[in-house]
Amino acid sequence: MKTPIFWNQKQSIISLLLIPFSYIWLLASFLNKKKPKKFDIPVIKIGNVVAGGAGKTPTVISLTKKLINSKINTHIILKGYKSSASKSIQVKKDLHTYKEVGDEALLCAACATTWVGKNRSESINNAINNGADLVILDDGLQDESILSNLNIIVFNGYQGIGNGRIIPSGPMRENMSKAINKSNLALIIDKDENNIAKLIGDTIPIINSNLIIEDEYINNFKNKNVLAFCGIGYPDKFYKSLKEIGCNILYTKSFPDHYEYSDKDIKKLLKKSQELDTLLITTEKDHVKIMEDYKSRIYYFPIRIELNNYKILDDILLSIIKNKS
């Protein structure tokens, strides 16, 4: 789905009319609660409170690389959005497609051993049996069936929390206060234009961070005319990144989150790009879903998260690893 415009509007009639359905969402979440399970290795949950993405998967990848560089065998666990895998499987980039494991799983598998399955506990056990020292749950913050050692809640400073209401009246997966109270650390990506830090207060430590695009990619796209397209929850973030690296955006096309591109879609985009004499560019997450015949004609760039203060995170990580050793 595309992020509804009214999710950012407090006075929207549609949003106000949908408030009763938000209570149904909360009730369903409550009734779905299970007794939490504890595991013998550290579990880190990384997620967000806002539907439509805030940068959780780039955060998972950046933290995983940091842990692996510290000689900690870290595995990543995902359910895999729209994945056809029912039982837990290890993701193989050269074997699986996004339809089998999900687009985000393919990105994660490029940096670490990654497991996808409907049952996260099963995936964690598979990780343990395959030598994992620690697991990270991508989008696991709302999963209360698993006990964790560290919960990191991710916000995008540019995106904010919209009108602050619960799905479907707004973009919130749960109440802000509940999400903060169960988290140990908040990560705000990009400039905090929506005063998220003020909403969090002194409840938990806050680390500011930035999306980093490597110079080699910036040089490829700077001052170039581009046609940009994506199928992510909050496409404006992508277009904003392109402008910041100096792209001249002549045309944009936004698709629903996790969109499955057809041959017809790509041909239309390529034709439009040719008419405008532009580069055709998308996100890394979208690029993995492009048919092989077209991939070389469509550009993308990987992003990573760089924290402004690593000491807070390092101290927490050291503490949970020591307590488990």
pLDDT single digits (tens) 155-209: 999 999 999 999 999 999 999 999 999 999 999 999 999 999 999 999 999 999 9
How much is the average pLDDT of 88-107? Answer: 91
Dist. CA 242–CA 248, nearest whole Å: 8
Which residues are within 8 A (CB) of 307 and not within 5 positions of it... i.e. 6 or more apart? 187, 207, 208, 209, 313
How much is the average pLDDT of 254-277? Answer: 95
Top-confidence residue, 98 or 281 = 281
Where do you find CATH 3.40.50.2300 in the chain? Answer: 215-302
Top-confidence residue, 192 or 219 = 192
Tokens of 271: 């034709």
The proportion of the chain whose per-residue pLDDT surpasses 70, expressed as a percent, equals 99
Which residues are within 8 A (CB) of 54 and not within 5 positions of it... i.e. 6 or more apart? 48, 154, 155, 156, 159, 189, 234
| Other beta carbons within 10 Å of 215 | 10
pLDDT for position 29: 80
pLDDT for position 282: 97
pLDDT for position 147: 95
pLDDT at 129 over 80: yes
pLDDT for position 1: 66
- Reported as type and span, the H/E element at residue 46 is strand 43-47
Residue type, 249: I
Task: Specify the CATH number for 31-72+133-210+305-324; select among 1.10.3470, 3.40.50, 3.40.390, 3.60.70.
Answer: 3.40.50
pLDDT for position 220: 86
Dist. CA 102–CA 150, nearest whole Å: 25
DSSP of 94-156: TT--HHHH-HHHHHHHTTS-EEE-S-HHHHHHHHHHTT-SEEEEET-TT-TTB--SEEEEEEE
pLDDT-derived band at 72, boundaries 50, 70, 90: very high
The proportion of the chain whose per-residue pLDDT surpasses 90, expressed as a percent, equals 73
Burial of 202 from C-beta contacts in 10 A (0-12 / 13-18 / 19+): exposed
Q: Which segments of 138-204 does DSSP mark as H helices, in order?
A: 176-181, 196-200
Q: Are 253 and 269 in contact (CB under 8 A)?
A: yes
pLDDT for position 52: 72
Residue 162, phi-psi category: left (phi > 0), alpha (psi -120 to 50), beta (remainder): left
Dist. CA 254–CA 274, nearest whole Å: 18
pLDDT at 268 over 90: yes
Q: Are 76 and 138 in contact (CB under 8 A)?
A: yes
How much is the average pLDDT of 134-151? Answer: 94
pLDDT-derived band at 2, boundaries 50, 70, 90: confident
pLDDT for position 150: 96
How much is the average pLDDT of 11-18? Answer: 94
**CATH superfamily, region 215-302:** Response regulator (3.40.50.2300)
How much is the average pLDDT of 271-300? Answer: 95
Q: Are 154 and 46 in contact (CB under 8 A)?
A: yes
Average predicted confidence (pLDDT) for the chain: 92
pLDDT for position 172: 95
pLDDT for position 325: 59
Q: What are phi and psi of 235, to 5 degrees?
A: -60, -25
Enter the pTM of the model.
Answer: 0.92
How much is the average pLDDT of 86-94? Answer: 90
pLDDT at 254 over 80: yes
Top-confidence residue, 30 or 126 = 126
pLDDT-derived band at 258, boundaries 50, 70, 90: confident
